[in-house]
Amino acid sequence: MLDSLSIHAASGEFSPFALFLQADIIVKLVMIGLLFASVWTWMIIVSFAMKIGQVGRKSDRFEKSFSKANDVDKFYDDHSKSGLPMAKVLASGMREWRRSTARGPIDRDGTRQRLATAMNATIAHEVDKLADRLNFLATVGSVAPFVGLFGTVWGIMRSFSAIAAEQNSSLAVVAPGIAEALFATAIGLFAAIPAVIAYNRFSHRLNKLEARMGRFADGFHATMSRKLELGE
């Protein structure tokens, strides 16, 4: 039996590619689907990491520029076309400010409330846009192990069928089917583990960005509230 297994191993029959070729069509479909999910997962991980890093760096520069600005209206006019989430928060606040103060008399409490509502809605919208592709990571992280398990169960069923057909329960008979089954599980884990880690990490970074935009909105709201009190 051991000699037989050694021959199989030496001939490369237990290599990943050989296991894929030997697998049943159902197990092959499972493996292909999981491999595509893994490739797409890594594409999302790389692209999102680059995007969130870029947003963070641009937000640093934006906040520094805003803190040095003497004229909020001019600063808004200079950055009104920016696609940066924090710039959009400022834009929503300034648009609401101009609408609310365009005609008198000014409802100060109503203006403050509308400013806060407009900026909070923009923050939620921008976070949802950034988090849109993360849903795929969550799906892969939760579903991929079970898809791999389905391939495992199917492969083991084939192994039992081989035992019944050949009336031989030796390891040499069942080993190929079991190896294919376990390989499907391994691919499922290979897709799921990075997806779960990336989803948790990116969710944390999105929460930090959301909190950062919230603090920026609060600061802007305080600035405009002072202007209301001074009657500017």
Q: CA-to-CA distance for 161 and 116, rounded, in angstroms?
A: 66
Q: What is the pLDDT of residue 157?
A: 77
In the predicted model, is pLDDT for residue 7 greater than 80? no
- Give first-to-last CA distance, the chain, whole Å: 91
Q: What is the pLDDT of residue 156?
A: 79
Question: What confidence category does residue 192 fall into, taking pLDDT thresholds of 50, 70 and 90?
Answer: very high
Question: What confidence category does residue 158 fall into, taking pLDDT thresholds of 50, 70 and 90?
Answer: confident
Q: Which residue did the predictor score with more confidence, 154 or 203? A: 203
In the predicted model, is pLDDT for residue 12 greater than 60? no
In the predicted model, is pLDDT for residue 232 greater than 60? no
**pLDDT mean across residues, the chain:** 83
φ, ψ of residue 106 to 5 degrees: the values are -90, 130
Q: CA-to-CA distance for 21 and 102, rounded, in angstroms?
A: 72
The number of residues making up the chain comes to 232
Mean pLDDT over 126-144 rounds to 91
Q: In Å, how far are 12, 62, 111, 172, 184 from 9, measured between CA atoms?
A: 5, 60, 75, 11, 19
Q: CA-to-CA distance for 123 and 23, rounded, in angstroms?
A: 49
In the predicted model, is pLDDT for residue 10 greater than 60? no
Q: CA-to-CA distance for 85 and 217, rounded, in angstroms?
A: 11
Q: What is the pLDDT of residue 11?
A: 44
Query: Could you tell me the sign of the dihedral formed by the alpha carbons of 77, 123, 118, 101, in that order?
Result: negative
Per-residue pLDDT tens digits for 76-118:
888 888 889 999 999 999 999 888 887 767 788 888 899 999 9
Question: What confidence category does residue 37 fall into, taking pLDDT thresholds of 50, 70 and 90?
Answer: very high
Q: What is the pLDDT of residue 213?
A: 94
User: What is the identity of the amino acid at 83?
Assistant: G
Cβ atoms within 10 Å, residue 60: 12
3-state secondary structure of 105: coil
Mean pLDDT over 109-138 rounds to 91
Question: What confidence category does residue 169 fall into, taking pLDDT thresholds of 50, 70 and 90?
Answer: low
Closest CA to 192 of 139, 133, 158, 141: 141
Task: Write the CB contacts of 175 (distance below 8 Å, at least 6 apart in sequence).
Answer: 5, 8
Q: What is the pLDDT of residue 51?
A: 93
Mean pLDDT over 134-149 rounds to 91
Of 97-111, 118-132, 206-220, which gets the smallest average pLDDT? 97-111
Radius of gyration of the chain from Cα atoms?
A: 29
Q: What is the pLDDT of residue 227?
A: 82
Strands (DSSP E) along the chain, which ranges?
A: none
